[in-house]
Amino acid sequence: MNSAKRLASLASLASLMAALVLTPVVNVEAAEPSTTLATPESFGNISDEAARSAALFTEAGKVLTSPRCVNCHPAGDRPLQGETHRLHQPPVERGSDGFGAVSMRCATCHQGGNFDPAGMPGHPHWHLAPREMAWQDKTLGEICTQIKDPARNGGRSLAQILTHIATDSLVGWAWAPGAGREPAPGTQKELGALIEAWVKTGAVCPR
């Protein structure tokens, strides 16, 4: 490489490093829930129990259909990103266990917690939901029916579904997704209360 090309290369590298240094970092603490969730008690005026049950799940659906949930429940083998459900970049695959292909495991980039300087989300068990649990492009009624089906929900009973939704820390990540991402509506505790009330009223799915 001659001197002119070497100087041009060094100048280009210096510009790239300057751009990286000057890139602003969004403070994760500034993120606020995009919406709230209604309480189970607020549906008490619906006298028909089946209708009340469906209404409770519809409210819970604000979370289930949010990008924080759908992006990890894709219809294909690639996770989704952002508020518009764009395909994951760089290209990765779910792999046989949902934790990525052998050559590109999820944990290669996604560590035990969010790394906001790089905009990288993280959790100790970061992975995709199984293919049979895909929610992308489904109606809320279809998601509800799927959640109730042990063949498509990981063999869980309704009681186990409630425990998973209300207490699982990976589910909880949806309310602390890191810089630049909208958290899921409400809180995990509020979602758990809605699902508990839905189960107690017969776990009726909305149409």
The parent domain of residue 54 ranges over 31-200
Per-residue confidence band for 35, with pLDDT thresholds at 50, 70 and 90: confident
Task: Tell me if 142 is assigned to some domain.
Answer: yes
Task: Tell me if 3 is assigned to some domain.
Answer: no
Task: Tell me if 136 is assigned to some domain.
Answer: yes
Average the pLDDT over 181-192 and give the result.
97
Spacing of C-alpha 120 from chain mean position: 14
Q: How many domains does the chain have?
A: 1
For 102, what's the count of Cα atoms within 13 Å in the CB-facing half-sphere? 0
Task: Tell me if 151 is assigned to some domain.
Answer: yes
* Ranges 18-22, 137-141, 167-171, 190-194: which has the least confidence: 18-22
Q: What is the pTM of this model?
A: 0.81
Give percent of the chain with pLDDT exceeding 70: 84
Task: Tell me if 10 is assigned to some domain.
Answer: no
105 close to 99: Cβ distance less than 8 angstroms: yes
50-83 pLDDT, tens digit each: 999 999 999 999 999 999 999 999 999 999 999 9
User: Is residue 9 predicted with pLDDT exceeding 70?
Assistant: no
Q: Where are the beta strands (DSSP E) in 42-200?
A: 80-81, 86-87, 100-101, 104-105
Q: Which pLDDT score, from 0 to 100, does residue 3 have?
A: 45
Per-residue confidence band for 131, with pLDDT thresholds at 50, 70 and 90: very high
Task: Tell me if 41 is assigned to some domain.
Answer: yes
Task: Tell me if 13 is assigned to some domain.
Answer: no
Q: Which pLDDT score, from 0 to 100, does residue 15 have?
A: 39
Task: Tell me if 171 is assigned to some domain.
Answer: yes
What is the chain's percent helix, strand, coil content, to nearest 5? 45, 5, 50
Q: Which pLDDT score, from 0 to 100, does residue 20 have?
A: 31
Residue 115 per-residue DSSP state: B
